[in-house]
Amino acid sequence: MEPSRRDAELPEYALIERQEMLRGIGYGDEALRRIQVGVANTWGEINPAAVHLNRVTQAVKAGVWAAGGTPREFVVSSVCTSMAGDDRFLLPYRDVVAAYIETVAAANLFDAMVFVPVCDDVIPGHLMAAARLDLPSVVVTGGYMTLNRWDGRPVDPLQVAAGHFMDYQEGRIDAGEFGEIENRGCAGGGACPVMGTANTMAALAEALGMSLPGNATTPGADSRLLRIGFEAGHMAVELHRHGITPSRIMTPGAFENAVRVLMAVGGSTNGVLHLQAIASELGLEIRPRTFNQLSAETPLICDIAPSGSGCNYLADLDQAGGIQAVMQELSPLLHTDVLTVTGKLLAHNLQAARVRDRNVIRPLDEPLAAEGGLHFLSGSLAPKGALVKTSAVPKPLVRHRGPARIFATEEHACEALAAGALLPGDVVVVRYAGPKGDPGMRLLQRFLWQLAARGLHDRVAFVTDGRISGTNKGCAITQVDPEAAEGGPLSIVRDGDVIAIDIPARTLELEVPVEEVARRIGAWQPPAPRARKGYLSVYARLAKSANSGAA
């Protein structure tokens, strides 16, 4: 028996009132008889990755109509983490979006949902909303932009400011050449085409079973994405008919699958806290030790930038078979009996998957690395853990001891780098950048981009209680917990103190005598709050630690 509509229990007078308002929008009797499917569109003119999503959303709505539902579109524009602005708001945006979608869906008594998100903190916000609402739902991630070319080489949009601008400043290219690169740098219509946070989260949406097979590696400009959108709209109605909701799909087994995919593709460190936040909406907990355990059991098998050779992009992964092919290769390690938004088990979906390029997706027994791409470290500098993207760490820094260089902000660290004030062996520390201290836990990505552009990413390490971008490479230890604002050991590190990083041993140590550490902590005073009003002040009071999802 098909589930009833959510407005079926309204008193007759209330139902008449509701239908009258819907007629005012333009819906006729046929539309009012159907189930109501909310369609969350993240189109807007504030993010180049989202400029094509109106077309995708139209395809979704066509699929809903064709399947017998009535689509009800609303817009919550996505944000771009690479567009310099007040980056403190980007992670809190995730939680605002989840709450906004919950509010719109609940207030309007939607029967099912289709989510059309793109970009870093946007996709997890929509997945959190899907988990919280627990209505039949499908996620359509917005793809990635194609790469333009200049002088025979692809132009990475993230390297225009970090690399090409430096080439121009230092005279390796002239103003005309730099102008040509600027004009080609950002094609728009999808996320940046590397395994950064946006594409990591698209991959995890597919790995969780919440998006259709093939979605994560479909380019934003490809008509395949429109067909996926149509099918997603159709499937939302079908899932409603069969009573299949996100809590039946995003099970503990599905989350383990997603963690293994995260490790196998060398995904973003931000995938960890986002998965934790999504799981918490379902009453589940993924602890740091679980990530380490699954990473130890799951080899890194994808050669996709910024991990591996750095030569392959998302289009290469698409041509190699996409996330379904990755999961097919991982299938001996996965729970293949989990349900997906196809209405079928993962095992059924994977029957059609094939690996088409072994240079991009390696065999399990011939991986890029024997263990996954992410690990939690612990030690005297991070008693509750710190996260590192092992797959992006250069070999010279896998084990490293060096003097701390303390900076109050990322901008100050960038100024020191530009002035030539950083030396090989230094360990740059940017602190008070965590969920409560910043507040908001901005992405400290630009220092690492500039470090790599200067060829120093294999000689200078980086430690922070903040976040980094999934596009960064280098020895970057992030999410140090407890954060400095809560009086963690990071708060009392001084210039010249030796920090020891040992990634194989999973340790992060401050080589300062215990007695001196205790003396400094005893004298430490918490800084004045950086946000005294507005949403960030609320976030600072309520946010969990980074290693618990920062929700």
545 catalytic residue (yes or no): no
Name residues whose C-beta falls within 8 Å of residue 21's C-beta, 6 or more positions apart in sequence: none
Provide the token pair at 439: 């507040």
Distance CA 307, CA 470 (A): 10
Q: Residues with Cβ < 8 Å from 358, sequence gap 6 or more?
A: none
Structure tokens at 89: 């708001």
- Alpha-carbon span 16 to 292, nearest angstrom: 55
Task: Provide the 10 A C-beta neighbour count for residue 44.
Answer: 16
Q: Which H or E run includes 156?
A: none
**Torsion sign over Cα 146, 151, 152, 155:** negative
The catalytic residue among 268, 378, 469, 491 is: 469
Burial classification of residue 123, based on how many CB atoms lie within 10 Å of its CB (0-12 exposed, 13-18 middle, 19 or more buried) = buried
User: What does the angle CA 39 – CA 42 – CA 46 come to, to the nearest 5 degrees?
Assistant: 160
Kind and range of the H or E element at 500?
A: strand 498-502
Torsion of CA 67, 69, 130, 335, to 10 degrees: -20
Locate 122 and state its tokens. 């946007």
Active site residues: 469
